[in-house]
A = this chain, B = another copy of it.
Amino acid sequence: MKNLDEIFNSKTIAVIGASAKPGTAGNDYLKVLTNFRDSSDIYPVNPNYEKIMGLKTYSSVLEVPEEVDLAYVLVPAKITPRVIEDCIEKGVKGIVVMSGGFSELGNEELEQKIASSVRKSGTRMVGPNCMGVYCPSAGVTFPTVIPGLKFPREGGKVSLISQSGGVAEYYVGLLAERGGRISKLVSTGNEADIKFTEYLKYLADDDETEVIAGYVEQIREGKNFLETTRKLAEKKPIVLWKVGRKEAAKRAASSHTGALAGSSKVYSGVFKQTGVTEAHSLDELIDYATTFSCLEPKAIEKVGIVTVPGGLGVDISDACEEEEIEIPLLSDGLQKRLRDSLPPYTQVMNPVDLTFAALENPDLLKKSIEIMGDSKEIDIIVVSDTGETIRSITPTLKECREKSEIPIAMVIPTLSILDKKTKENIRILTKAGIPIYPTSQGFAKSMNALTFYH
């Protein structure tokens, strides 16, 4: 695992195929990387330039005077074998081959050639046909193409292994919208050398990773995967989204990364058996990773709902009961305790509806959570808010989460349209261990995922 750690936590990076020409991949990536980390340990390689972006540029990786931990390769496929030989000779620890044009376009032979080169050496390879790695704590990142998306510099608890570079990229953005941050991310590409299961093993042992999420088109070493995950899922939660479940999807997957997709039922069976949480959509992959990064595994059978204005208590109740999770009518004693602490126009049966009272007096929310939490009548409290109250209740919720034993979650259907100031609270809440869900359905399914993992 030494090499993999050096790839994610690389201290020196060569960018082979770096370019001064705007709009090229070699230019884009160098720009992204120099903006993200200290430039003094970045070495552009391109025989046509002496300097790019003010950095001394080398005609070959062999000329770089320092040790190179990681080499990003952005040259055309046919030149790749020679570049890789150079990297091996240089003793580079890891190579990320971003270039496409290998098995995904039928060029199996070329791919085998580079794979067998690295296999004979001490060097390891990510890709080819991939976006590489992102590890914010080490200042390693990869080029983003989605307009408006910048990878956060702040690291988090979720690591992602993705067999699609595109999915990897927007996963980071959509997770960040929920307040989640990434520990380590790899876009694995064609997996000619390092395969999905090996990343999984590495991340299971990585102290900075608390949850592993994966986007899977195909597992290339089925038996190895089965044996590995059985051991790993005990260590930390693994959430996998397996696509290509049906005929046409397999066609699409095959054209995308040269992988052959297996049957849906086989994978679902394996996941269940090995304790892997299966996601069936992008939303679920985000929901479940958010859940496991915020909440301890626990059986969630009874949910207490607290709402501020917006009428979402009904929807959360529907969604929970659809997933066979109970919204118990609170006991007379508990209702009385709530009644004594809350204004007369609030509702205390469950959902507890605070209406506008929580906006003017966040302390009412605190009291409700404390009283419900102490009762042991429910396993979790979910607070629903459509935006107006978020800023005023964030400190209260954070305090409750820290002091009280009862876990807290939030459903915020308006998440994507909130203004910047309100959105800043989302990160505070998630960091405090309060997962945020944009849909009631996502919350309810996540509670079942938490129960399953428990």
Which residues of the other chain, B, contact A439 by a CB distance below 8 angstroms? 281-283
Binds B, one of A51-59, A66-74, A252-260, A365-373: A252-260
Give the complex CA separation of A256 and B347 in angstroms.
9
Separation in Å of the A383 CB from the closest CB of chain B? 14
**With an 8 A cutoff between CB atoms, is A45 at the interface?**
no
**With an 8 A cutoff between CB atoms, is A1 at the interface?**
no
Give the complex CA separation of A243 and B419 in angstroms.
28
Separation in Å of the A204 CB from the closest CB of chain B? 25
Give the complex CA separation of A244 and B312 in angstroms.
11
Binds B, one of A120-128, A153-161, A164-172, A230-238: A164-172
Separation in Å of the A346 CB from the closest CB of chain B? 9
Which residues of the other chain, B, contact A441 by a CB distance below 8 angstroms? 281
**With an 8 A cutoff between CB atoms, is A177 at the interface?**
yes
Give the complex CA separation of A147 and B417 in angstroms.
9
* A112-147 Cβ-contact flags toward B at 8 Å (1 or 0): 000000000000000000000000000000000111
Q: Which of A428-442 contact B (CB under 8 A)?
A: 439-441
Which residues of the other chain, B, contact A413 by a CB distance below 8 angstroms? 170, 174, 282
Give the complex CA separation of A421 and B147 in angstroms.
9
Residue of B nearest to A174 (CB): B417
Residues B251 and A351 in contact, CB atoms below 8 Å apart = yes
Which residues of the other chain, B, contact A170 by a CB distance below 8 angstroms? 310, 386-387, 413-414, 417
**With an 8 A cutoff between CB atoms, is A202 at the interface?**
no
**With an 8 A cutoff between CB atoms, is A207 at the interface?**
no
Q: Can you list 20 A-B contacts with CB-CB less than 8 angstroms, sorted by A residue number?
A: A148-B387, A148-B420, A148-B422, A170-B310, A173-B414, A174-B413, A176-B417, A243-B314, A244-B317, A246-B318, A248-B317, A248-B321, A248-B326, A248-B328, A249-B313, A251-B317, A252-B313, A256-B311, A256-B314, A257-B311
Which residues of the other chain, B, contact A418 by a CB distance below 8 angstroms? 146-148
Q: Which of A354-403 contact B (CB under 8 A)?
A: 386-388, 390-391
With A170-B386, A440-B281, A441-B281 already in contact, the answer to whether A255 and B414 are too (CB < 8 A) is: no
Listed residue (A243, A252, A305, A347) with the most chain B CB atoms within 10 angstroms of its CB: A252
Residues A317 and B246 in contact, CB atoms below 8 Å apart = yes
Residue of B nearest to A149 (CB): B417
Residues B388 and A146 in contact, CB atoms below 8 Å apart = yes
Residues B145 and A314 in contact, CB atoms below 8 Å apart = no
Which residues of the other chain, B, contact A353 by a CB distance below 8 angstroms? 252, 255-256
* Additional A-B contacts beyond A170-B310, A170-B386, A243-B318 (10; CB < 8 A): A146-B388, A147-B421, A149-B387, A166-B386, A167-B312, A174-B413, A243-B314, A243-B315, A252-B313, A255-B351
Residues A317 and B249 in contact, CB atoms below 8 Å apart = yes
**With an 8 A cutoff between CB atoms, is A276 at the interface?**
no
Residue of B nearest to A360 (CB): B23
Residues B248 and A282 in contact, CB atoms below 8 Å apart = no
Q: Which of A403-454 contact B (CB under 8 A)?
A: 413-422, 439-441
Give the complex CA separation of A310 and B419 in angstroms.
28
Number of interface residues, chain A, beta carbon within 8 A: 78
Residues A167 and B310 in contact, CB atoms below 8 Å apart = yes
**With an 8 A cutoff between CB atoms, is A342 at the interface?**
no
**With an 8 A cutoff between CB atoms, is A80 at the interface?**
no
Residues B351 and A309 in contact, CB atoms below 8 Å apart = no
10 tightest A-B CB contacts, nearest first: A148-B419, A166-B310, A248-B327, A164-B311, A416-B416, A249-B317, A246-B321, A252-B313, A255-B347, A248-B317
Listed residue (A327, A329, A414, A419) with the most chain B CB atoms within 10 angstroms of its CB: A414
**With an 8 A cutoff between CB atoms, is A27 at the interface?**
no
Give the complex CA separation of A394 and B323 in angstroms.
40
With A174-B417, A243-B315, A315-B282 already in contact, the answer to whether A305 and B146 are too (CB < 8 A) is: no
With A252-B351, A353-B252, A417-B173 already in contact, the answer to whether A388 and B317 are too (CB < 8 A) is: no
